[in-house]
Structures are given as C-alpha cells and as structure tokens.
A and B are shown apart, each in its own frame.
Chain A
Amino acid sequence: MTYHVVEDPIKKVAIFGGTHGNELTGVFLVKHWLENGAEIQRTGLEVKPFITNPRAVKKCTRYIDCDLNRVFDPGNLGKRMSEDLPYEVRRAQEINHLFGPKDSEDSYDIIFDLHNTTSNMGCTLILEDSRNDFLIQMFHYIKTSLAPLPCYIYLIEHPSLKYATTRSIAKYPVGIEVGPQPQGVLRADILDQMRKMIKYALDFIHNFNEGKEFPPCAIEVYKIMEKVDYPRNENGEIAAIIHPNLQDQDWKPLRPEDPVFLTLDGETIPLGGDCTVYPTFVNEAAYYEKKEAFAKTTILTLKAKSIRSSLH
C-alpha cells in the first residue's frame, strides 16, 4: 500500500518580478503578464503577477535603501510603520499585508520570485526547506520537463546563512534564478528559459489540483555550506579576483588544490580545506558588497513521498 501525502489544492499563486530592480527578466515577464496574463492562467487557479520593488525597477537599480530580499524577517515586518524606515522595509510590510501575513492561514499558497544572476548558474530553483514533499515534487517535475537543459536546485536551508526572502511569506516559497545575465540587460535566451520554468511550474500545480498522483521521487540538490569572501587589503578593497579556472564554473566540482583566486601580482590562491565542494554564485556582481565571491555547496539527495490533492 503506497503512502500518499495529501495536500490541499493550491488556490492562490503569485509571481514576483523586480524584487531587485535591475534583474530584468522577471521585471519584463511580470509587466507583460500584467498586460496579458493568458499564458499564466490555469483553470481553478488564481495567478497574480506583481512588481515588488517598483521604485528600484524605475531606477534600474538593485534597491533604493536596502535589499528587499533580506528584510522579510519578523523583526522588520513588525516594526512600527514610519517615514523613517528604509523604503524596502516599508514595502516589505505592504507586501506582507497583500500576500501574507507570513506564517498565517491567509497567506498565498505559492510565490515564485524571479531573479537573474551575473553568475553562470543556468536555470536554478531555490529551495528553503529540505522536507517539503510538495516542492520537491514540483522541482522534480520542472527539472524533468526542462531536460536536456540543465536545471540546478540550490538548498539554502542553513541555521545562519538562510535569509528572509520576499517569497518566504508564502506557504510554499520558490526562488527562480536564471543566469548569466548582466544587471540592466534583457537577453532573449534567458527570458525563454525563465518563461519555460514558470510554465512547467504552473502545469505541475494544475495537474496536482486535477488529482494527478505524483509517485515518490528523488532529486539531487546543492546545499549551501559556507560563503567565501574575496581576499581584501587593509582598505577593504578586493585584493584578488575569481581565478579564470573558476570563472563560469558554477556547480562543477572544486577540489582543495584547485585555484579559486588570482591576485594582481599573479599569485594563485587554492580552495584549501579537505573536501570537494560545488561552487555557486561565482562572481555575482551584487554580492561584492555582501562579501561573497562564491558559495560552497555539497550535493545531497532529497526524497519526496508520493503526493496527491485532498479533493480527489
């Protein structure tokens, strides 16, 4: 006898673009869907496209005062509303009101948050919870549908490194990250990839709601271990840069003896340590100020039980 996980059907879905105003694929797709949402409609499902940081989008900058994608923690969400609060904190409270409140019954079921990266990460899905059968099944479905185009799954579950994302106010938060694309640039190939990821995600939800049973599955994920900063000089300026051998090599195995940084004097700095890791977010422009040259991950297999909608 198979054991199914039974979940309520999905009712409310949101697709966020412009959480970072210069990551243009999501901005453009959401703006398009606000004009003509046919492509994202599925029967029985409410799918709402939404621009989360309109002021940053207007200026084509990542953020105005602070990173919107880092302020959805209870501390910031609970602060008393005031003009003195950073723009993004005020905005986070508005978004929490519209699509949350976070951790309540009324919050949206699923939020897809669309991002780009300057790193060569290809199509990436970001998972926040390793024990979420529903999302593991969804990611498995998307990955299988995209093949042979690779699709990587980044698990950011970690006691200290996990951050309070915009999408975290939903019951099922999904990060969609496609790169490489420069900030402020819109590439047709990247747009097409992100569009497909959303299409397959919505198809999955629709199939699930219609009663399809998804048998147990397993997915390979890259779990964050540690973030590595650039070597810096006494002024805090970058003293070495991502080595050419590591540049563009997101998700590929990196061994302790492999070079990771190159100084301007020509010195090579190896990874060190005692295990092979899988680097990601290699040379992401927006992470220079966050002191992250790349993130080290380890490969895990996550399993999901069979799932089925409760209405069938």
Chain B
Amino acid sequence: MCSRPEPPEPLRRVAVVGGTHGNEMSGVCLARYWLRAPGELQRPSFSAVPVLANPAATAACRRYVDCDLNRAFTSAFLTARAHPDDPYEVTRARELNQLLGPKASGQAFDFVLDLHNTTASMGTCLVAESSHDVFAMHLCHHLQLQSPELPCRVFLYQLPGEESYSVHSVAKSGLGLELGPQPQGVLRADLLARMRALVAAALDFIQLFNQAYRKVSSVDFPRTETGDLAGTVHPQLQDRDFEPLRPGAPIFQMFGGKDVLYEGESTVYPVFINEAAYYEKGIAFFQTEKLTFSVPALPGLAPAPSPAP
C-alpha cells in the first residue's frame, strides 16, 4: 500500500512569537515593535500575527515568573483543570493554547515562529522537534540558502518517545529561531537585524509556498465511459510543474493521437502533474493561480503592550 501525499494547503494563520523568555531581548523588542507597527509582517496571501508570549516575565526582564513557559505546552499542563494556585506560565500556556491552538486540533494556527536568544555561541540556529515536520524542514533549507555566508544550523531537540512541549508545538507546524551569543537582558543591534531578516525570509517563504500551492481546482485525466484512462498527460505538460499553462496549450494526449487543449480563460500554474497516487483520486494535475490580495490581521489576538518598567 503506497502512501498518499496530501496536497498542501496554503498557510493562512501564522504567528511570530517573542518574549517566551522575558529576558531574551531580540524577540521581546521585535514583538513589541510589531504590536505597534505590524506592517512588515504582512504578505499578499496572509498576515503574521505578533505575540508577546510572557508579558509578566518580559516586564520583569526575567526568563520566567514561576516556571519555563517553553516547557509548559504538554497535554498534561494544557488539559488539566485550572486552579487558582497554578503557576503563572501554566495559566499563560492555556491562554496561548486558546489563541494559537488548540494543540493537535484542526483549528490550530498553521505556523508559529518562536524567537529566542542564547548566551551560547550558537550563531543562527533553527530549532524543530524532529524532521517529521516537512514544511518546517523545507523552511530551514530555504533559510540556510538565504545566507550562505552565515552558517544556519538545524537542531532537532525531541528525544524518542518524548512529547513536544514548546510554544511552537501548539501549531500545525512551527520553528524556534535561536540566535546567540547575547547576554540575557541585552539587546545587540547585530543580532536584532539578523533576527528581523530571518523572520522576513521565513514569511517570504510562506508567501512563496502559498502562491505556488494556491489550489483552484483539479483536472482529471480524459476517461472512457467505463472510467478507464483515455489519454495521458501531454509531453509538453509533463514535468512542467509551476510553469505557466496558457489557454490553448496542450494538456492531454489521447491514446488515439488527438491533443486535448487547456480551455480556461487565464494562465494557471499546474502542480502535481502526473502524480501516481492521484490517478485513483481522479487528479491529473492541480490548477493553481497566483493571486495578490491583502488579508487584514485578525483582531483581538495580540495582547496589549505591557506597561513601562
């Protein structure tokens, strides 16, 4: 039994999180800035929502108040009944789970990028649970290619059998961005600029992904009355995924030799052309189109900026 690849959906609900640890200043600074001026998080097919994850720890410039927020997203913490004596971060994890999750559900955000600093000399490091998050791995690869002069390493942190516990594990896909060395409580301009550029590159990648996989419809093979294949993907369409398909171009070649032409009104971008697993689904290729439109930020998702220290 062969595996069936899911046709990828565009990523609509994206969050960029800073201040998960209140003294890791690059993310704190950027989250605060974007909460006031979110323009640079907007892309044609989506807008990323900025989130200040741990407002109390951020206000006190501490890693956490009661316990580490970035360890609080296990099902044990998230699903237990709330209690007035619960640690601040456990309560906050539940709030964030409402906002960005619920974890492991269909309503969860599509992607969360969580911004961190380290005092260790790790340079630029992308943190993922494991290599199973295929989208995240593609994003890592893209970010590595973006700055070849600056090594960008991928760190897979989850041990076998261990449950995920990070802020970004709340979403369907996610990544931690870890930049160092930077002392706790210190904001270095060079790391801030690098973090800002990496977030921009990540959002650009999501935009690219959304554009390419902006599925409009699927097109089946030409078939006989009994449902058998009557033709196959035309040689001029074969292997031309993502390339423009213009009205009048050939898409199928009938077994009898005749060409079937694309009769749509606008240029489309076919993907998954001649995917084996899709024969039985009645899909010869997906038609996608590139569209540009603004999606307004979702209101009520970002907490108000914390008061001055």
Chain A residues at the B interface, C-beta cutoff of 8 Å: 61, 118, 180-185, 235-238, 241-244, 247, 262, 264, 283-286, 288-289
Contacts and interface: CB of A to CB of B under 8 A. Distances in A.
B189 A118 contact: no
Contacts of A262: 189
A185 B119 contact: yes
Given A241-B189, A247-B190, A118 B183 contact: yes
B188 A285 contact: no
Given A262-B189, A289-B61, A237 B184 contact: no
B32 interface: yes
Interface in B180-198: 181-190, 192-193
Interface stretch (B86-94, B233-241, B301-309): B301-309
A118 B186 contact: yes
B190 A244 contact: yes
Given A118-B183, A180-B183, A185-B119, A243 B309 contact: no
Interface in B12-39: 29, 32-33
B29 A183 contact: no
Interface string B281-309: 00000000000000000000000010111
A288 B33 contact: no
A194 B43 CA distance: 51
A238 B29 contact: yes
Q: Is the interface of A mostly helix, strand, loop or mixed?
A: loop
Contacts of A235: 305, 307-308
26 contacts: A118-B186, A182-B181, A182-B183, A182-B186, A183-B184, A184-B184, A235-B305, A235-B307, A236-B308, A237-B32, A237-B305, A237-B308, A241-B29, A241-B192, A242-B187, A243-B189, A244-B190, A244-B193, A262-B189, A264-B29, A264-B33, A283-B187, A288-B61, A288-B185, A289-B61, A289-B309
Q: Is the interface of B mostly helix, strand, loop or mixed?
A: loop
Please classify how large the interface on chain B is, using the bins under 10, 10 to 19, 20 to 34, 35 or more.
Answer: 20 to 34
A2 B39 CA distance: 73
B187 A241 contact: yes
Contacts of B308: 235-237
Contacts of B305: 235, 237
A45 to B, nearest CB: 36
Nearest to B62: A61
Contact of B185 (A185, A247, A285): A285
B306 to A, nearest CB: 9
A244 B189 CA distance: 6
Nearest to B34: A264
B185 A118 contact: yes
B103 to A, nearest CB: 31
Contacts of B181: 182
Shortest Cβ-Cβ A-B pairs, 6 listed? A236-B308, A285-B185, A182-B183, A182-B119, A118-B183, A244-B189
